[in-house]
Amino acid sequence: MGFPVTRMRRLRRSETLRSMVRETQIAREDLILPLFVVEGSGVREPISSMPGVHRFSVDQVVIEAERVRDLGVPAIILFGIPDTKDARGSGADEADGIVQRASRAIVDAVPDLVVITDVCLCEYTDHGHCGTLDGHEIQNDASLERLAATAVSHARAGASIIAPSDMMDGRVGAIRAALDAEGFDQVAIMSYAAKYASAFYGPFREAAESTPEFGDRRGYQMDPPNRREAMREMRLDLEEGADMLMVKPAMAYLDILADARREFEVPLAAYQVSGEYSMIKAAGERGWIDADRAMEEAIVSIKRAGADMILTYAAADIAEKL
Ligand code: PBG
């Protein structure tokens, strides 16, 4: 039955009516806040490329974690920025490394907050790549050992979810085996399964000081035009033991997220990355868009496309407004 019997505007007439027929709602429980941790104490350093985002020392990140938990956000994901870097990324799996200390302190102070740790070598290597090198070649299998050791050190520090973001082949299987061998069979893996080689990571690389010294990440991260390949990546990670899958970035890859929602039963996460976040903030600062509304719209679009969990630098701001 068409117009004039059918009138779509009938159910849009008031906010109350609209709220009754709204198909997607953002809940605090959907949100995960990324946090950057640096050495020192008393540090709360704004990141110029990411308005409203800071680098915290361990003592300050604990305060931020408490605030986030009080706002009803259930989880954070930690990124470490060490003072010293070397070729093999030695800092990544140190028992007393930056992420390990932050994780221990947060688990101690805010036990009901879920601590997720990003497992990658790029913040710890002097060359800035996500694996170890043989000349200018990023080694796959040799990197797996380093990644697995890093995951185990995070589990020892109390992390309950490990999130590998390096895109080496076989890392989920290697990490699962290492965790199980060390008695961490209860620690979950959230795999950055469909992670694309994206220009939208620009602000993060400044924040984490992880820009590759030579070349780029196209030899291991996915080629943006590919859609079917993402399903293969995700299926492989599930076979290797991933508990949850992630699509990253989010907004330019909502088709991938919707495909994954149809294809898989596991919980799905999507990462609204630094560039997605900072573009909205920057345009808001210029008065070109209403940044709060645009941010909410972006987040709801990610949920509508099929994400159960959304990693976003706006998690605390959004939770505050709900
Ligand atoms: C790699 C990693 C990156 C991001 C999360 N984990 C950067 C990269 O692959 O270059 C990007 C996050 C963002 O842009 O917000 N450890």
Residue nearest to atom 7 of ligand 1 (CA): 201
- In terms of Cβ atoms closer than 10 Å to its own Cβ (0-12, 13-18, 19+), residue 252 is middle
133, part of any domain: yes
And the tokens for 165? 């973001």
- The pLDDT of residue 164 is 98
- The pLDDT of residue 31 is 98
69, part of any domain: yes
Atom of ligand 1 nearest to the CA of 272: 15
CA 204 to centroid of ligand 1, rounded, Å: 6
State the catalytic residues.
Answer: 195, 248
Say if CB 261 and CB 302 are below 8 A apart: no
7, part of any domain: no
Tell me if 248 CB under 6 Å of ligand 1: no
Along the 322 residues of the chain, how does pLDDT read in single tens digits? 899 999 999 999 999 999 999 999 999 999 999 999 999 999 999 999 999 999 999 999 999 999 999 999 999 999 999 999 999 999 999 999 999 999 999 999 999 999 999 999 999 999 999 999 999 999 999 999 999 999 999 999 999 999 999 999 999 999 999 999 999 999 999 999 999 999 999 999 988 888 999 999 999 999 999 999 999 999 999 999 999 999 999 999 999 999 999 999 999 999 999 999 999 999 999 999 999 999 999 999 999 999 999 999 999 999 999 9
pTM summary value: 0.97
- The pLDDT of residue 188 is 99
- The pLDDT of residue 210 is 87
201, part of any domain: yes
Atom of ligand 1 nearest to the CA of 123: 16
- The pLDDT of residue 209 is 86
**Smallest Cα–Cα separation from 149: which of 166, 127, 134?**
166
What is the number of domains present in the chain?
1
186, part of any domain: yes
The total number of residues shown for the chain amounts to 322
4, part of any domain: no
Tell me if 220 CB under 6 Å of ligand 1: no
Residue 169, domain extent:
25-321
Tell me if 120 CB under 6 Å of ligand 1: yes
CA 1 to centroid of ligand 1, rounded, Å: 49
3-state secondary structure the chain: CCCCCCCHHHHHCCHHHHHHCCCCCCCHHHEEEEEEEECCCCCEEECCCCCCCEEEEHHHHHHHHHHHHHCCCCEEEEEEECCCCECCCHHHHCCCCHHHHHHHHHHHHCCCCEEEEEECCCCCECCCCCCCEECCEECCHHHHHHHHHHHHHHHHCCCCEEEECCCCCCHHHHHHHHHHHCCCCCCEEEEEEEEECCHHHHHHHHHHCCCCCCCCCCCCCECCCCCHHHHHHHHHHHHCCCCEEEEECCHHHHHHHHHHHHHCCCCEEEECCHHHHHHHHHHHHCCCCCHHHHHHHHHHHHHHHCCCEEECCCHHHHHHHC
9, part of any domain: no
Tell me if 205 CB under 6 Å of ligand 1: yes
- Best of 32, 55, 77, 165 to mutate for ligand 1, by most ligand atoms within 8 A of CB? 165
CA 49 to centroid of ligand 1, rounded, Å: 14
Say if CB 116 and CB 163 are below 8 A apart: yes
269, part of any domain: yes
CA 118 to centroid of ligand 1, rounded, Å: 9
d(CA 224, CA 256) in angstroms, rounded, equals: 11
- The pLDDT of residue 143 is 97
- Give the CATH number for residue 255: 3.20.20.70
And the tokens for 187? 């620690």
